[in-house]
């Protein structure tokens, strides 16, 4: 019988995954897996368990949680050098990469059946100053919203808490000068926000980078140029519809390499996030690692 390591965050989202645990284990057993659950308790225990405690004879790792939990699991797998597939059960507040994979947030049964009934596919990963990410590297205004929201508020209000925190940051809105270097050009511009994406989804926007493909060896940079604030509502509506890439207010680049430099001496402007987790401060370099990880999903 094959062996599955199930890592779950009991504090993710509305904390309901524990009620679906028996259903989850049952589906994997029916699929021929012996399931070994691991319940995360505190910061750092997922990394320790995967890197130091987990045996090497597992055939599959399944992560139940949000984008942050998946990011932690992916980093630990890559550090350990585990060449086994990853399954995702989206049970967190933010589940952007799972959405890209066609998995429904909160639908544990559907995600588990997808994992046991489909073949995994190799996808690209990002590497930013030594730290891996599976979905997005973001910086500028609003990029630290997921870090700033209190966990209890996040669990109570879900995605709404991110929007409320974003509104709270509006008084700090200002132009941020950046230098973006790719493999063939250097661009200096004033931006509000940038996102370097492996998929089409982030921040609840499902068509933010409609041309993204997590298997093509390239990432897409989508940035909002610092224009008049009165333009932002219109731009956000365009972004929701996926009809924004040709707007003059949008900087759009596609490459396998990015270097990001913030040209102002403001510590907050120099911060970044990786899949919603704290990332490196600028300057930092991003490279695409093609076909670096196997994942399960409803690929088109």
Active site (catalytic) residues: 277
How many angstroms separate the CA atoms of 275 and 21, rounded? 25
Q: Residue 224, SS3?
A: strand
Distance between CA atoms of residues 28 and 283, nearest Å: 44
Task: Give one word for 81, left, alpha or beta, with left for phi > 0 and alpha for psi -120 to 50.
Answer: left
Provide the CB-side half-sphere exposure for 112 (13 A, CA).
24
Quick check: bond before 283 cis, omega within 30?
yes
Please state, in angstroms and rounded to a whole number, the distance separating the CA atoms of residues 226 and 168: 19
DSSP state of 20: G
Q: How far apart (Å, rounded) are the C-alpha atoms in residues 99 and 105?
A: 7
Q: How far apart are CA 77 and CA 66, in angstroms?
A: 17
The residue assigned the tokens 């390239």 is 218
Place of tokens 């492996």: 198
Contact (CB, 8 A) for 143 and 193: yes
Cβ proximity of 97 and 135 under 8 Å: yes
Phi, psi of 76 (to 5 degrees): -65, -40
Selection from 144, 221, 210, 228 nearest residue 183 by Cα:
221
β pairing state of 257-262 and 176-181: antiparallel
């Amino acid at each position: 019988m094959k062996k599955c390591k199930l890592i779950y965050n009991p504090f993710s989202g509305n904390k309901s995954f524990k009620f679906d645990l028996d259903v989850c284990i049952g589906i994997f057993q029916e699929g021929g897996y012996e399931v070994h659950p691991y319940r995360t308790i505190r910061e750092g225990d997922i990394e320790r368990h995967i890197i130091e405690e987990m045996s090497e004879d597992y055939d599959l790792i399944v992560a139940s949680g949000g984008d942050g939990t998946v990011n932690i699991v992916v980093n630990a797998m890559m550090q350990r050098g585990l060449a086994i597939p990853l399954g995702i059960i989206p049970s967190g507040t933010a589940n952007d990469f799972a959405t890209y994979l066609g998995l429904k947030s909160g639908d544990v049964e559907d995600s588990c059946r997808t994992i046991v009934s489909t073949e995994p596919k190799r996808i690209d990963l990002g590497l930013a100053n030594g730290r891996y990410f599976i979905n997005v590297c973001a910086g500028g205004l609003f990029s630290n919203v997921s870090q700033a929201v209190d966990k209890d508020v996040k669990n109570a209000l879900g995605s709404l808490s991110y929007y409320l925190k974003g509104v709270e940051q509006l008084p700090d809105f200002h132009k941020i000068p950046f230098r973006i270097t790719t493999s063939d050009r250097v661009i200096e511009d004033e931006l509000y926000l940038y996102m370097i994406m492996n998929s089409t989804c982030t921040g609840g926007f499902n068509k933010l980078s409609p041309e993204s493909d997590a298997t093509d060896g390239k990432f897409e940079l989508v940035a909002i140029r610092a224009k008049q604030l009165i333009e932002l509502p219109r731009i956000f509506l365009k972004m929701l519809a996926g009809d924004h890439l040709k707007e003059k207010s949008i900087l759009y680049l596609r490459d396998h390499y990015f270097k990001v430099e913030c040209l102002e001496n403001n510590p907050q402007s120099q911060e970044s996030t990786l899949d919603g987790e704290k990332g490196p401060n600028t300057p930092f370099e991003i490279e695409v690692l093609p076909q670096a990880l196997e994942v399960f999903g409803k690929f088109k």
